Structure 1
Amino acid sequence: MNKKDKGQISLEFIMILGVFLLIVLTLYPHIQRENEFNKALASAKDGAIYATSERGMGYACETCVKLPSGTIKIINMTLEDRGIDQNGRKAYRIRFYISVPSYIKDRYPSCYNSPVGMSIRRQAIRYIYRAFYGSWNPPNPLEVCTDRYNFTITCSYAE
């Protein structure tokens, strides 16, 4: 081995490591943003599933209107971009489309104000808040603000 070539492998290794670190540091903010966004969506879905399961079995909170049990299903979940809120956060509305028995639709034409809709909205907000702040009781029961995002929840009956 030639004396001139001894440091070549170390130099190449340091250069490759430097490029790798540069790539990771460049992508980190984007990865962190996407992680926060996905964490909120997954938490909202978990909360909505919990609420529909709970209501489907006939359980309800103390202040909720009691309904007979019935099959309640989440058919779809969509995301609506609402622009930027007053605090500079990206605002989104998560909408759940649910299938409920006809007696619930007849009694409550608006999903938003129905006991099932209120349970879904409340649990989804609580689960998002829990994921970011570690508590089940958000100060605002209508929205959750994270570092970069503002999330609200709504629901509609599936057609």
Structure 2
Amino acid sequence: MELKFSCGKLDSKGQLPIEYIMTMGVIFLVSLLFLSQAGCQSELNTALASARSGAIEGANMNSFALYPEETFQNYTSTHNTLTKPATVRIISIEYKNQGLSPTYRKEKIQIKVHASAPSVKNPADRNCLGDRINYHVRMSISQSFKTENLTNKVFNPAFSPRYVFTTCDVAWV
């Protein structure tokens, strides 16, 4: 007994291979669309993880009162409170897509850090703490994407292949 498999008349006209090729082509195009979107999301997730890491590093530097010598001298004369260790906590980090930047031809993302430092009451001191946190946020993003050479010494703005990142004043809770 012999078994025979036949696709009927469609196979003899070559229609099955054409349908197969068309189906695979559509699946390939849909896959490319999803992969492209996933790549953008991955880059943004990497940047936000770096921002979180940088904010924590900046808060820790302020918590330990560890500063570069020039900054320490400035703080000794104008912000004496900051030369002593203080607890600084990062509450949250949010971002806002501000659309295409005409200057850099990349999407502009603004990052806002919410922090708490109950022992630091003076607004000028909080502003200095916020500047230090934002500096570390931008530096961390630049280091993650190896774009330190594309920005200035305070890493403002920070870059990735698709985005340009800026920070706004830290919101103190």
Structure 1 residues 105, 76: closer, same or farther in 2, change over 3 A? same
In structure 1, give the amino acid aligned to 2:67. Answer: A
Structure 1 residues 139, 156: closer, same or farther in 2, change over 3 A? closer
Shift, 1:150, TM fit: 1.1
Correspondence for 2:134: 121
Q: CA deviation digits over 1:2-54, x for unaligned, max 9?
A: 1436x9xxx79988766653432221111111111111111011001111112
Shift, 1:70, TM fit: 1.2
Identical aligned pairs, as a percentage? 25
Paired residue total: 151
Distance in 2 (CA, whole Å) between partners of 1:82 and 1:134 is 21
Correspondence for 1:73: 89
- Aligned Cα RMSD in Å? 2.8
Structure in which a larger fraction of residues adopt helix? 2
SS at match of 1:108: helix
Structure 2 unaligned residues grouped into runs of 5+ = 12-16, 76-81
Correspondence for 2:99: 83
Q: CA deviation digits over 1:96-149, x for unaligned, max 9?
A: 1111134x33161662xx1x21221111111101111175x6632211122221
Distance in 2 (CA, whole Å) between partners of 1:68 and 1:39 is 33
Which has the larger Rg? 2
Q: TM-score, normalised by structure 2?
A: 0.72
SS at match of 1:27: helix
Which of 149, 154, 158 is matched with 2:168 structurally?
154
Which of 137, 140, 143 is matched with 1:130 structurally?
143
In structure 2, give the amino acid aligned to 1:51. Answer: G
Q: TM-score, normalised by structure 1?
A: 0.77
